[in-house]
């Protein structure tokens, strides 16, 4: 379990006589519960001294602590470089289920009635091998959706509207991963620039849903109604068979660096909640001004209790942890793969069956830890992203110009087969969440349309956002009327989608990539809450072809278990739910050692056969051709294979319904830089 001796109740516990609130602070000299008027959240109606008890948990009771009541905490304590007590500030309860903003940098906690009728709704419990994650922004996904009623667009209810659900299930997604929905605020710098934090990676509280994603009706009714709308969304998505994964930001808070707004943690116990040096300087491994110290039992418990709330009271299926390395940093500041917090979350019986996905890096020393999280965790695989982008984009660009010699196909094949050089045998291919794009960076369309980032609209003179995009504009920077360039861009997108959805591991598709959404070359659009980042739903013929391709690929993944092994295979052994893999060259002969790394060889045939455990036997053949010349490929002769049925060809603008049949030894025409998938029989 998580290292924690804290057992006292935290947050508000309602009773028949009102309620009790518990707040942790080891450094405070006194805490005071402030209760505010039902009509005016700035009008103090009662102040109740809080009593320090076991575990440094301070408590107070009041008959006024009933649903809808606004409240806050005042704290006093010692002075010194590591403390930031201010008796004039009214602070948020870190466990508040509801939060109401009064004005800039001032909020009130709100008591919330959590009652909700879940009916017969249940978590889908989709196996990771069958999971296809769709990363989306609650507001941006439906803000422009014409089939969603205007009053529901951009809301939790809009995400759960029948038209939205029909789109997601029709595409074949099995899980929706939502950008942060914890109550968040925009950074002071953005506010001064007239911009906003659109993505939401700046949490104010870890238990309250962000109210601006609720309908106006729910917002007017208060935090309780906002929470009910969120739960209603989860219920309807579950009834459609869709899991809900939340992107959670426990690594830092919206209090920013010293001098930033004090809303809760800094005012309650700055010395213990945040990593800092003896002189009070924050140790910032997040790049956001502060870093939560998870060696402190109170911080570790905060994460655990927050996850329990969302997983149990709100029925959320899983979590993607932003900058997750922070959670594993020990007393010496170094990342510890044996972290008691990381293991403790897995061992918590109240979190049984919950999916844990790490963003396996932060910006501190030793912050890149891809492959180094405990068994039971999955991870965003940036090595997969980079290798696939290089193979289909930068290598092609370099080959055109002669600027560099393209790499061979060996590294690409390793990623295609599940990244066994990154994840241990114990963890297997499902530890890898494969992605080519995410909210952060170029969209798929921009990857094939821009060589450089175009972030001037962010107000930082194009200095923000990575310069290492591994993108290729294919001959023109940005939009062009050149039909040949547009055609090769679309094929490049189909190759990238095909690689993502036919690779071993757990695929994650970014909303809009299935039809080529653009952000006009902005690769860091976190501060744009407008048409630049909202998903557009107008369609043309090219868009329809892309969407049909993504839908077809997801269906092929679902229908062919050889594409989605649970375990790594072992040479000479039969491993249940693994795939036996054989590799052939353009001539249909077994790949030699020199073939794997030779820059002259960028064509291979990947024959994968499932090892049945819960599904019928299945075998596929995937041809990958990474050169801008057409080629003829000889299909391999393999024991037990009498023929091949072509299922998909990335050269096709729209997936073909034709099921062309071939025999071992036949030659197949393969278009420049393309892929073909066959079922072997």
Q: What residues act catalytically?
A: 322, 359
Query: How far from 316 is each of 35, 299, 379, 584, CA to CA, in Å?
Result: 31, 21, 19, 43
Please give the distance of CA 461 from its chain centroid, rounded to a whole number: 28
Burial class (CB in 10 A: 0-12, 13-18, 19+), 125: exposed
**Bridge-based pairing state of the strands 631-634 and 667-670:** antiparallel
57-62 and 432-434: which strand pairing? unpaired
**Contact assessment for residue 234 and residue 317, using Cβ atoms and an 8 Å cutoff:** no
Q: In angstroms, rounded to a whole number, what is the distance separating the alpha carbons of residues 220 and 216? A: 6
Whose CA is closest to 496, among 532, 429, 449, 535? Answer: 449
- The alpha carbon dihedral of 610, 616, 617, 620 has a sign of negative
Closest CA to 442 of 473, 411, 469, 409: 469
Give the residue carrying structure tokens 């009008």. 43
CA 500-506-510 angle, 5° bins: 60
Which residues touch 115 (CB under 8 Å, ≥6 apart)?
A: none
Residue 49 φ then ψ, to 5°: -60, 140
Question: 302 — alpha (psi -120 to 50), left (phi > 0) or beta?
Answer: alpha
* Token representation of residue 618: 């299945």
Cα separation of the two ends of the chain: 49
Burial class (CB in 10 A: 0-12, 13-18, 19+), 277: exposed
Nearest to 185 by CA among 81, 83, 246, 256: 256
Instruction: Please state, in angstroms and rounded to a whole number, the distance separating the CA atoms of residues 95 and 21.
Output: 9
Q: Which strand (E) or helix (H) includes residue 580?
A: strand 579-584
Closest-CA residue to 156 (of 291, 314, 46): 314
Yes or no: say if 316 and 243 are a contact pair by the CB < 8 Å rule. no
What angle (nearest 5°) sits at the alpha carbon of residue 361, between those of residues 357 and 363? 145
């Amino acid at each position: 379990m998580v290292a924690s001796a804290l057992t006292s109740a935290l947050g508000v516990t309602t009773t028949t006589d009102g309620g009790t609130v518990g707040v942790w602070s080891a450094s405070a000299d006194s805490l005071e519960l402030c209760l505010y008027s039902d009509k005016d959240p700035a009008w103090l109606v009662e102040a109740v001294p809080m009593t320090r008890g076991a575990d440094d948990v301070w408590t107070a009771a009041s008959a006024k602590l009933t649903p809808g009541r606004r409240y806050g905490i005042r704290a006093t304590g010692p002075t010194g470089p590591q403390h930031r007590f201010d008796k004039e500030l009214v602070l948020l309860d870190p466990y508040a289920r509801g939060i109401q903003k009064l004005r800039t940098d001032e909020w009130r906690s709100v008591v919330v009635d959590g009652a909700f009728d879940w009916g017969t709704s249940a978590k889908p419990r989709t196996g990771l091998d069958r999971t296809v994650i769709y990363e989306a922004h609650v507001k941006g996904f439906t803000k422009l959706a014409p089939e969603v009623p205007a009053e529901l667009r951009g809301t939790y209810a809009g995400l759960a509207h029948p038209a939205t659900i029909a789109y997601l299930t029709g595409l074949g997604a099995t899980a929706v991963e939502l950008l942060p929905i914890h109550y968040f605020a925009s950074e002071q710098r953005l506010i001064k620039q007239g911009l906003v934090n659109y993505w939401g990676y700046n949490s104010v509280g870890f238990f309250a849903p962000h109210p601006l994603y609720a309908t106006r009706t729910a917002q007017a009714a208060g935090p309780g109604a906002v929470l009910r709308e969120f739960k209603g969304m989860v219920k309807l998505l579950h009834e459609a068979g869709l899991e809900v994964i939340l992107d959670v930001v426990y690594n830092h808070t919206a209090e920013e660096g010293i001098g930033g707004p004090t809303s809760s943690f800094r005012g309650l116990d700055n010395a213990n909640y945040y990593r800092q040096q003896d002189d009070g300087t924050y140790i910032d491994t997040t790049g956001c001004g502060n870093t939560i110290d998870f060696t402190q039992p109170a911080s570790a418990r905060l994460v655990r209790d927050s996850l329990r709330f969302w997983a149990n009271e709100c029925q959320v299926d899983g979590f993607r942890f932003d900058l997750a390395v922070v959670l594993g940093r020990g007393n010496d500041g170094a990342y510890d793969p044996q972290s008691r917090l990381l293991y403790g979350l897995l061992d918590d019986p109240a979190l049984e069956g919950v999916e844990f996905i790490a963003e396996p890096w932060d910006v501190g020393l030793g912050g890149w830890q891809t492959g180094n999280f405990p068994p039971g965790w999955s991870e965003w695989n940036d090595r997969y992203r980079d290798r696939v982008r290089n193979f289909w984009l930068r290598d092609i660009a370099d080959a055109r110009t002669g600027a560099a010699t393209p790499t061979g196909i060996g590294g690409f094949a390793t990623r295609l087969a599940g990244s066994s050089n990154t994840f241990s045998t114990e963890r297997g291919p499902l530890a890898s969440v494969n992605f080519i794009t995410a909210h952060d960076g170029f969209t798929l369309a921009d990857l094939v349309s821009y060589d450089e980032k175009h972030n001037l609209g962010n107000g930082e003179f194009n200095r923000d956002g990575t310069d290492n995009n591994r993108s290729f504009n294919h001959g023109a920077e940005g939009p062009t009327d050149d039909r040949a360039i547009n055609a090769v861009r679309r094929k490049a997108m189909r190759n990238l989608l095909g690689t993502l959805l036919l690779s071993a591991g757990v695929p994650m598709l970014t909303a809009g990539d299935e039809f080529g959404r653009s952000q006009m070359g902005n690769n860091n659009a976190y501060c744009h809450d407008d048409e630049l980042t909202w998903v557009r739903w107008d369609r043309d013929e090219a868009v329809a072809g892309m969407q049909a391709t993504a839908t077809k690929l997801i269906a092929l993944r679902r229908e062919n278990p050889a594409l989605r092994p649970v375990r790594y295979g072992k040479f000479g052994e039969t491993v249940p739910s693994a795939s036996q893999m054989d590799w052939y060259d353009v001539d249909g002969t077994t790949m030699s050692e020199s073939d794997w790394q030779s820059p002259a060889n960028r064509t291979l045939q990947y024959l994968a056969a499932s090892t049945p455990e819960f599904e019928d036997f299945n075998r596929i053949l995937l041809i990958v051709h990474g050169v801008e010349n057409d080629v003829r490929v000889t299909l391999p002769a393999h024991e037990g294979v009498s023929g091949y049925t072509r299922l998909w060809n990335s050269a096709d603008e729209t997936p073909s319904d034709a099921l062309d049949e071939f025999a071992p030894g036949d030659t197949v025409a393969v278009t420049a830089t393309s892929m073909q998938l066959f079922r072997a029989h």
